[in-house]
Amino acid sequence: MKTYFLGLTLVAFVSVVAIRGLHARTTTPPVYVVVEIDEIIDANGFEALRQMAAATAVEVQFEDGRYFASTENVTALDGSAPKFFAFIAFDNMTKAKAFNDSMKDTTALRTKVTKSRSFIVEGTSQSS
């Protein structure tokens, strides 16, 4: 009975190691969408942009994205901090770009009522 249990344990261990190895080779690094707002030009327009936050959150979820940060509480270490910062993770570039494409109206409003920028950052693979 002990030999049977030891054999099953060894098979399970080898299977876990093999699966983790395959997963590590096929996992693509995450991709991040970053939005920084440096200045609010139109306060009423910015309030309208805030009202769109719930719809934006739905779009993030639709593309399997995850908010890592979405805040006005930003502390500068050097230079000046943005007034607003958002950091959203996606599994791959395709999903990040699909999210960006779905946000054309929001982006148009944001660029009209603020001095801001958005960009995509490719992450690095995590080592196990």
pTM: predicted TM-score of the whole model, two decimal places: 0.74
Matching residue, tokens 């707002």: 37
Domains in the chain, start-ordered, CATH in brackets? 29-122 (3.30.70.100)
C-alpha–C-alpha distance, residues 72 and 92, integer Å:
26
**Residue 85: beta bridge partners?**
36, 71
- Of the CA atoms within 13 Å of residue 33, those in its CB half-sphere come to 25
- Strand arrangement, sheet containing 84-90: 66-71, 84-90, 31-40, 114-122
The 10s digit of each residue's pLDDT in 73-119 is 999 999 999 999 999 999 999 999 999 999 999 999 999 999 999 99
- Residue 25 sits at the vertex; the CA angle it makes with 19 and 26, to the nearest 5 degrees, is 90
